[in-house]
């Protein structure tokens, strides 16, 4: 959309005035210059790893303009530098993470660069495994819905917003993970307010998209999911990205369903500094990518419409360079974590299961009862005491079909441990899940990051293994890796070594 200068004020570009457009360009440029500074620092052995967001800047700034920090919830992936800048994370904070400084707000110096996290903006701590965050986003969105529907939860009004969105991003390579499909399925079953952004730069390290995705187009594959708004855009075109993100966020805020934006971007730098794309990407392809560089395209638009001159842009670039250089010097001078803090936050500072408090002798009282009865009674008591407790998993509800519930005794788990809970506490606190163990645990993690207390069930220990990535790399380390900023108050129930006879090798572990 072309601006028309009339001597007084220009026509707006999709509602953005000149100063807004210059701010967009500055954010994109700042993101790129931070990548470049980290590359320089890695070459000087001042940092130990670098992975960039270059080529993704346009769609990410557009996303940041349409979403609300500290209102919406964010599960970004490692290329989302420009989004995090737009939300409010500072260059200094990003470089504190790069050098592993004590005051890094993402992890306190415990994680690699570009593993975003900032509690002040609802940016939840991320990790290295690709795609695990998608299930967390689903659980976080579910938590918002539960807060809205369960009035007994204390302070619930301060814990959610009626039109909030949970944003989650990933590269096209991560859409090959089964957990991505589990997340998309659960989101569409429940019509949750999730906005998926797939940033497709054509390569998962060296593997091209046509070797990753059937047909080479993830947006074509997901269009059959019910209620899912799907858009496919040129993610290097800022205005196409802005319009797509506005449409997607409006759809989700209106509670019409979830949204999925597939943004085709470029990757002008190698996957990371541990990679060399010249080994597998032909020169002509690299040259074609350079012609689509979102920063070059946006600079050309500003000049074409007399919104900025070459001198204006050069002055802005110099200002950005100064800001990045100053931030880098401060980050390099910042103190590192003390060595004696390395083991902090493995457990909660309030509840330490290795402490003497967990060594009290048993004091039997009351009548003898079965484990099934005792666990069922305990769950009922705890759910009555704390409305934040939610129970879900395979077959844990009495009946998923509401019209059947008055007519049947109820399932309540294969061992009847959860029988009657749904009738007592309702469908929002007790519900069934698909047969997807990673989804059960991953969604529980997302709920727990928002202070719910999920109690999830894996039906048999034999079947827990699909969830082990979520258990080992997410649930057990989120407090540690975030420097005690995030936690997961969650219980996983798994029957093992039970009384089942004739179970064979797959019901007897």
Look at residue 346 and tell me if it is in a domain.
no
**Reported confidence tier of residue 11, pLDDT bands at 50, 70, 90:** low
Q: Of 434 and 496, which is predicted with more confidence?
A: 434
| H helix runs in 175-309, sequence order | 178-190, 218-222, 238-253, 283-291, 294-304
Same domain? 299 vs 208: yes
Strands 389-393 and 229-234, how do they pair? unpaired
Residue 363 has what pLDDT?
A: 84
Is 1 domain-assigned? no
pLDDT, tens only, 46-74: 999 999 999 999 999 999 999 999 999 99
Question: 424 and 367 share a domain?
Answer: yes
Using an 8 Å Cβ cutoff, are 171 and 198 in contact? yes
| Phi, psi angles (nearest 5°) of residue 217 | -145, 100
Structure tokens at 282: 């032909």
In the sheet that 259-264 helps form, which strands lie side by side, from edge to edge?
73-75, 166-171, 194-200, 259-264, 229-234
Per-residue confidence (pLDDT) for residue 509, from 0 to 100? 63
Same domain flag for 330 and 433: no
- Over 90: is that where the pLDDT of 438 sits? yes
Is the pLDDT score of 135 beyond 70? yes
d(CA 66, CA 55): 20
Q: Which domain holds residue 410?
A: 356-506
Flag whether pLDDT at 77 surpasses 60. yes
3-state secondary structure of 340: helix
At 508 the pLDDT is 67
Spatial separation of the C-alpha atoms in residues 368 and 378, rounded to whole Å: 14
pLDDT number for residue 6: 37
pLDDT confidence of residue 505: 77
> Which one of 335, 368, 397 terminates a domain?
335
Predicted confidence at residue 355, as pLDDT, reads: 83
Dihedral angle sign, alpha carbons of residues 54, 60, 62, 65: negative
**Number of structural domains in the chain:** 2
Q: Are residues 171 and 302 in the same domain?
A: yes
pLDDT tens, position by position, 478-495 = 999 999 999 999 999 999
Assess if residue 347 is contained within a domain.
no
Tell which of 335, 367, 386 closes a domain. Answer: 335
Rg for the chain, CA atoms, rounded: 25
Residue 422 and residue 309 share a domain: no
* 327 and 370 both lie in a single domain: no
Tell me the percentage of the chain whose pLDDT exceeds 90. 89
- Please give the structure tokens belonging to residue 73: 């919830």
Question: What does pTM read for this prediction?
Answer: 0.95
Q: Are 382 and 389 in contact (CB under 8 A)?
A: yes
Q: What is the pLDDT, as a whole number, of residue 249?
A: 99
My answer on whether 166 and 72 are in the same domain is: yes
Q: How far, in Å, CA of 296 to CA of 290, rounded?
A: 9
Within this chain, do residues 314 and 360 fall inside the same structural domain, yes or no?
A: no
Only one residue has tokens 């457990």, namely 347
Q: How does pLDDT run across 192-248, given as a tens digit for each residue?
A: 999 999 999 999 999 999 999 999 999 999 999 999 999 999 999 999 999 999 999
- Banded model confidence at residue 500, pLDDT cuts 50, 70, 90: low
Category of 263 on φ-ψ map: left (φ > 0), alpha (ψ -120 to 50) or beta? beta
Cα–Cα dist 460/402, whole Å: 26
Residue 297 lies in a domain: yes
For the chain, give the mean pLDDT: 95
Is 35 a residue whose pLDDT tops 50?
A: yes
Single out the residue of 192, 165, 89, 172 nearest to residue 130, CA to CA. Answer: 172
pLDDT over 70 (residue 10): no
Tokens of residue 192, six digits: 């949750």
Q: How confident is the model at residue 8 (pLDDT cuts 50, 70, 90)?
A: very low
Least confident of 10-14, 38-42, 139-143, 447-451: 10-14
Residue 236 lies in a domain: yes
8 in any annotated domain: no
Place of tokens 């390290």: 205
> Would you place residue 44 in the very low, low, confident or very high pLDDT band (cuts 50, 70, 90)?
very high
Residues composing the chain: 509
Least confident window among 5-9, 106-110, 168-172, 225-229: 5-9
What average pLDDT does the segment 280-285 reach?
A: 97
Coil, strand or helix at 416: coil
Q: What is the mean pLDDT of residues 173-190?
A: 98
Instruction: Give Cβ neighbours of residue 189 (< 8 Å, ≥ 6 apart).
Output: 434
Name the token pair of 35: 């990548």
Sign of CA dihedral 500, 501, 502, 505: positive
Tokens 């048993």, residue? 362
Domain-located, residue 11 = no
* Residues 328 and 364 placed together within one structural domain of the fold: no
- 57 and 153 in a single domain? The answer is yes
- Say if 5 falls within a structural domain: no
Instruction: Examine the domain organization and report whether 379 and 313 are in the same domain.
Output: no
Say which CATH number the domain at 265 has.
3.40.50.970
Whether residue 262 sits in one domain with residue 124: yes
């Amino acid at each position: 959309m072309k601006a028309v200068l009339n001597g007084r004020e220009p026509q707006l570009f999709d509602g953005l005035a000149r100063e807004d457009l210059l701010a967009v360009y500055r954010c994109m440029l700042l993101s790129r210059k931070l990548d470049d500074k980290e590359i320089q620092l890695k070459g000087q052995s001042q940092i130990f790893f670098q992975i960039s967001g270059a080529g993704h800047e346009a769609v990410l700034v557009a996303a940041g303009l349409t979403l609300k920090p500290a209102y919406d919830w964010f599960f970004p992936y490692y290329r989302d530098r420009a989004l995090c800048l737009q939300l409010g994370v500072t260059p200094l904070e990003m470089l504190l993470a790069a050098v592993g400084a004590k005051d890094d707000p993402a992890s306190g110096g415990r994680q690699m660069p570009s593993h975003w996290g900032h509690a002040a903006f609802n940016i939840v701590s991320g990790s290295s495994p690709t795609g695990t965050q998608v299930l967390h986003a689903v659980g976080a969105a579910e938590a918002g819905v539960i807060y809205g529907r369960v009035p007994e939860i204390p302070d619930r009004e301060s814990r959610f917003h009626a039109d909030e969105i949970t944003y989650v991003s990933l590269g096209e390579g991560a859409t090959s993970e089964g957990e991505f499909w589990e997340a998309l399925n659960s989101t569409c079953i429940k019509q949750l307010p999730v906005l998926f952004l797939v940033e497709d730069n054509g390569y998962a390290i060296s593997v091209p998209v046509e070797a990753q995705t059937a047909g080479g187009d993830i947006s074509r594959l997901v269009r059959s999911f019910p209620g899912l708004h799907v858009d496919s855009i040129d993610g290097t075109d800022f205005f196409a990205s802005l319009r797509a993100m506005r449409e997607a966020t409006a759809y989700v805020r209106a509670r019409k369903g979830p949204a999925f934006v597939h943004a085709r971007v470029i990757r002008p730098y190698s996957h990371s500094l541990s990679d060399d794309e010249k080994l597998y990407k032909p020169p002509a392809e690299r040259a074609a990518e350079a012609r689509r560089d979102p920063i070059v395209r946006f600079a050309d638009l500003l000049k074409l419409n007399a919104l900025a001159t070459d001198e204006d842009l050069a002055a802005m670039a110099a200002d950005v360079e100064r800001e990045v250089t100053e931030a880098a010097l401060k980050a390099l001078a910042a103190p590192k974590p003390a060595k004696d803090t390395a083991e902090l936050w493995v457990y909660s500072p309030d509840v330490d299961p290795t402490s003497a408090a967990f060594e009290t002798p048993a004091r039997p009282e009351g009548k003898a009862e079965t484990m099934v009865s005792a666990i069922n009674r305990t769950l009922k008591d705890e759910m009555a005491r704390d409305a934040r407790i939610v129970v879900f998993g395979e077959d844990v509800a009495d009946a998923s079909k509401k019209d059947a519930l008055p007519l049947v005794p109820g399932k309540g788990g294969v061992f009847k441990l959860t029988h009657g809970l749904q009738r007592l506490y309702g469908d929002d606190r007790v519900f069934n899940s698909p047969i997807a163990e990673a989804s059960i645990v991953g969604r529980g993690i997302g709920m727990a990051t928002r202070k719910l207390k999920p109690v999830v069930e894996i039906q048999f220990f034999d079947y827990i293994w699909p969830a082990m990535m979520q258990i080992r790399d997410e649930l057990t380390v989120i407090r540690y890796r975030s420097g005690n900023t995030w936690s997961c108050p969650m219980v996983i129930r798994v029957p093992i070594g039970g009384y089942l006879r004739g179970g064979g090798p797959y019901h007897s572990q």
